[in-house]
Amino acid sequence: MTTAKIALAAALALGFISPALADRPGADWMTIEQATQKARDAGYAQVTEIEADDGRWEAKGVKNGQIYEFHIDPRTGSISNEHLDD
């Protein structure tokens, strides 16, 4: 076993390296319910999916009869990066 593999095994065993965890809302984020309401206020008749990812809420919703993907700022609720779902 190489030195690098031994060091990695030791770090994992001691808990110094942990597997990546799913993104979670920050303590200062608006709730998922508030984020969903912001999307509705922006014209989304339905929000079909919403999750914390990469420091923001990422969502899918129906607007003007089409499904869009978009981001919601977790602190201000502003909608960005709206595009049709492929």
Could you say which of 3.40.50, 1.50.10, 3.30.70, 3.10.450 is the CATH number of the domain covering 25-84? 3.10.450
Phi-psi region of 55 (alpha: psi -120 to 50; beta: other; left: phi over 0): left
Per-residue pLDDT at 23: 86
Mean pLDDT per 10-residue interval, the chain, length 86 residues: 52 42 83 97 95 96 97 97 94
Question: What single DSSP character describes residue 67?
Answer: E
Query: Rounded to whole angstroms, what are the CA distances from 61 to 13, 68, 71, 81?
Result: 43, 5, 11, 13
Domain ranges (residues) in the chain: 25-84
